Amino acid sequence: MAVDLEAIRKRVAELSGIKKTSSVQMWKPGLGEYKVRCLPWKNAADGQPFMERWFYYIGENAGLLAPNQFGKPDPINDLVRKLYSSGKPDDRVLAKKLSAKMRCYAPVIVRGEEDKGVQVWSFGKQVYQRMLGFFLDEEVGDILSPTEGFDLKVSITKAVGKQFNDTVVDPARRPSKLHEDAAVTQKWLESVPNIDDMYRLKSIQEIETVLNNWLNGGSEPAQTD
């Protein structure tokens, strides 16, 4: 029997909690300028335009979903709370490193890559705050409207000496349709994936194993942008 390396890679990703399904296309832009159009999530809670997810970055782990955000027992969060409550400066430093970090998500159509369909863009807090501000700007408003929304101009640069890229997002000068063909628009809106299909929530036992391995190994928590 021939070994399917791609199938093995997908399975390793599933087991590590990175990607839960290959049907979700992530948009990972490099340096340069882009134009994208954000689409609304189907299952966004409380009328929020974008999705938030909180992850732990410990050791070599690419990111562990924090169970407490779903109301589930969370041994890492328990440890963080104990460290903060100890009152010791070193414990507070460690608690900050172990604390969950937020990532935000938006389904997008990348102009010039329409043939790829809906992709999912992950971004950090600063970009998130900037994009939320568009909804409050009376000259912009609902950027998600498929008929009167705005494309976004995304510029990604890297300053000398900085570890992470800089991302600047601005709305286009004028509103526009998501697509001139209403059938294409509807197809894109219906193909927005479920964010819960993207990452697997590890069991308490799995998370405890990761935490214990890290505590015994003593390596630094991974850095994120």
- Tens digits of per-residue pLDDT, 178-206? 999 999 999 999 999 998 888 889 999 99
Confidence of residue 21 (pLDDT cuts 50, 70, 90): very low
Give the whole-angstrom CA distance, residue 32 versus residue 114.
Answer: 18
- Quick one: tokens of 136? 């409050």
Return the pLDDT at 66.
96
Mean pLDDT, range 124-149, rounded to an integer: 95
Q: Which amino acid is it at 113?
A: E
pLDDT score, position 8? 55
**Segment among 50-64, 75-89, 112-126 with least mean pLDDT:** 50-64
The answer to whether residue 165 scores a pLDDT higher than 60 is yes
What is the model's pTM?
A: 0.82
Q: Does the pLDDT of residue 123 top 60, yes or no? A: yes
- What is the average pLDDT across 117-138? 96
Position 192: which residue type? V
213 burial level (CB within 10 Å; 0-12, 13-18, 19+): middle
pLDDT > 90? residue 108? yes
